[in-house]
Structure 1
């Protein structure tokens, strides 16, 4: 079951996080019949004038679920950007999308309205039909929120984002699923919710630079971290009461047993398929997309799934990095200077607890909540992720196992924040 018993469309409040809860006080009413007829004529004219490539554009923008293309655009904008990328950009976008969806669903519950193609046979249905009110376009609310948030983080890419928003609006209108006025109302809601999240993000501490010093002890990690990495432990949590809420107990003072296990593995293996897989592939991101499509989640459910998924990752990073820079856990290649990790390049920050596995534990927990039939699969993936960091030689096994435990606790906490 996707939601807690008794929670359904429109009954879930805002993102339900301790840090904030953004709602609008907007009141929208459907337009009168005469205006609807004018809008129907507008859609009919657009459909008659369409070229063949327009059909592909309609499928492109109206397929999958509303945030699918906008998540891709965020990733594209991130790749296009040179230099530091703000750590809160993904979760802020998906939380804004979810809150915009909650706002839209309140209006849909209050006013049932048929889709444009259902009013007049002159309008063709060129997209997937739904069994809920067409009043206020939920796809447009997502577009308005995402366009505004991505633009905040990557202002230099305004031209690209504006062109994509225009393409979306054209494709949505030509689909015959929505009236022009409902598209505009959706955009307005999404943009206003995004504005509130952008104001929040300005003080979420995700862009602060570190000015501290690395401790000089042979038993601890040594290196020159990026100015942003140590600050992850100071990001403003979304659900956690404080960054050190699930800080693990201190790491071992004697790593000899862990080190010997790594030496034995390296003596028998020249490479590791799973080590390279988890280093180079966005495994979890692809998985959440796949599960949303496999289970055919509707727009509201998909927005909820992405919001809780990315919140779990974000707060897990804070929890892991709190431990890393509190304990400054040494890495295997520093403990034994003769040791050569299979992954060659060890990440340039402390090892305990492992970041990959803390995130894996948290995400596996929320995915099991969303898709409980697949729980054993998610648990297996989290364990594979943990094993991959050991086989790659960048972590001691203890780093990984403790990371999974911390991540599991974070995941449970995030679920509680979204459902109580």
Structure 2
């Protein structure tokens, strides 16, 4: 009887341990720009026993500033803070390098996380807090092996990508990365060798992906010719005239989903001039003029669904979104400069828009395209909130008409283009081996754990 009970307890203990693991098979998920996670598997780590004293020393010397760093870098998934930084950088960039940088931050963080997970579950190195009872856990205990440190992986990727595309920030992001690394050691969740291995792995994969995509942006110079004629955009120095020549990731080419030519804008101009503004319509126009539909929304949902506790899945979501954003941008700008669609205040110079129009053709709308991506892609991520995401897509697209800077057909074409791009990306990632984001058994466990 006692023997049977002992066997049962042992089996239950093993089952609980397996259930507690975070995505133990993530190392086999398909990657974007590297061959596989296994191809980047790290050599086995040395003994951690000599590092226990280093972790204890960090904790004994921890001050309030250090604790603030732990709290700051522990917020969200390992890539969360870097995603926040990149959102500000690429959206204010006046070249097409910014959107490529944003895409690579997403894909390289994901690919490096998958490689890290392959290594983690190959060696199953215990976390510091599990290796020595004197080490405190100053954050929620991660349910994955220690080697390599996933936060350091994300820091290595971000430092490399941001330094390459925004070299003026190289010193700043290097200091930030060191703060992130130090915070994980002091928190009792990583040994120094875990952080070093993770940081170098992230750098290595980011460098590889920069090299893989070096020809995505053409080196050719725009000829400066702006076509003339009725219904065509009028202006000087249009932004991103070559963006439609960029190489795409999922789409076969930038023109795969190019909409048909724009209509005669006469009726739409009449509709716009007769439109009666309200406080609500103006508020909607100004809100989306300063926000893309995707701003902070994805990270918010990752938090709400407790996916920040699942680093591979969170990295997967950010990567998928960054690829759809990139391909959508390239496809939209391909169409813009294929048709050179005129803006309302150019079509009728007596018309006064609510705000100035951006310096590039109007058809199709870039905002509406991104709204189409959000409506479809976020509904794939979080299907229970499909109606909510579709409303955001509709409101965001309508805002450009309300602002007076886009005809309705600009928005309709943009929305449809965004939907097609998102669905193409969804079809690709459904075969990546990760399973459904919210029905994944490990995710159910993470959500239950977060509610305790």
**Normalization by structure 1: what TM-score?**
0.90
Summarize the Cα distance change of 1:219–1:80 in structure 2 as closer, same or farther, 3 Å threshold. closer
Partner of 1:368: 379
In the TM superposition, what is the alpha-carbon distance from 1:306 to its structure 2 partner? Answer: 0.6
In the TM superposition, what is the alpha-carbon distance from 1:82 to its structure 2 partner? Answer: 9.2
Contact 1:240 1:413 in 2 (8 A): yes
Cα distance per residue 1:123-180 (max 9 Å; x no partner) = 1101221222223111111111111110001222222122112211211111101111
CA RMSD, Structure 1 to Structure 2 (Å): 2.4
Partner of 1:256: 266
Matched, 1:410 2:421: yes
Contact 1:275 1:391 in 2 (8 A): yes
Partner of 2:129: 117
* SS of corresponding position for 1:102: helix
Partner of 1:294: 304
Q: 2:49 aligns with which of 26, 37, 60?
A: 37
Provide the rounded CA distance (Å) in 1 between the counterparts of 2:233 and 2:428: 34
Contact 2:34 2:209 in 1 (8 A): no
Of 160-169 and 307-316, deviating more is: 160-169
Partner of 2:395: 384
In the TM superposition, what is the alpha-carbon distance from 1:31 to its structure 2 partner? Answer: 3.4
Matches within 5 A, 1:11-410: 11-15=28-32, 20-23=33-36, 25-32=39-46, 35-75=47-87, 86-205=98-217, 209-226=221-238, 228-252=239-263, 254-266=264-276, 272-297=282-307, 298-343=310-355, 345-410=356-421
Provide the rounded CA distance (Å) in 1 between the counterparts of 2:122 and 2:72: 30
Of 196-205 and 305-314, deviating more is: 196-205
* SS of corresponding position for 1:86: helix
Partner of 2:13: none
Contact 2:328 2:369 in 1 (8 A): yes
Partner of 1:3: none
In the TM superposition, what is the alpha-carbon distance from 1:283 to its structure 2 partner? Answer: 3.8
Provide the rounded CA distance (Å) in 1 between the counterparts of 2:369 and 2:311: 29
In the TM superposition, what is the alpha-carbon distance from 1:267 to its structure 2 partner? Answer: 6.9
Provide the rounded CA distance (Å) in 1 between the counterparts of 2:390 and 2:92: 34
Provide the rounded CA distance (Å) in 1 between the counterparts of 2:155 and 2:327: 25
Number of residue-to-residue matches in the alignment: 406
Cα distance per residue 1:231-252 (max 9 Å; x no partner) = 1111111111011000111111
Contact 2:24 2:121 in 1 (8 A): no
Contact 2:153 2:199 in 1 (8 A): yes
Provide the rounded CA distance (Å) in 1 between the counterparts of 2:95 and 2:390: 35
Contact 1:271 1:342 in 2 (8 A): no
Provide the rounded CA distance (Å) in 2 between the counterparts of 1:220 and 1:282: 26
Of 210-219 and 291-300, deviating more is: 210-219
Provide the rounded CA distance (Å) in 2 between the counterparts of 1:287 and 1:27: 34
Provide the rounded CA distance (Å) in 2 between the counterparts of 1:414 and 1:142: 23
Provide the rounded CA distance (Å) in 2 between the counterparts of 1:416 and 1:216: 40
Contact 1:29 1:111 in 2 (8 A): no
Where does structure 1 lack aligned partners over 5 or more consecutive residues?
A: 1-5
In the TM superposition, what is the alpha-carbon distance from 1:78 to its structure 2 partner? Answer: 6.0
Of 229-238 and 210-219, deviating more is: 210-219
Cα distance per residue 1:280-338 (max 9 Å; x no partner) = 12441210110111111111111111111111111111111111111111111122121
Contact 1:368 1:374 in 2 (8 A): yes
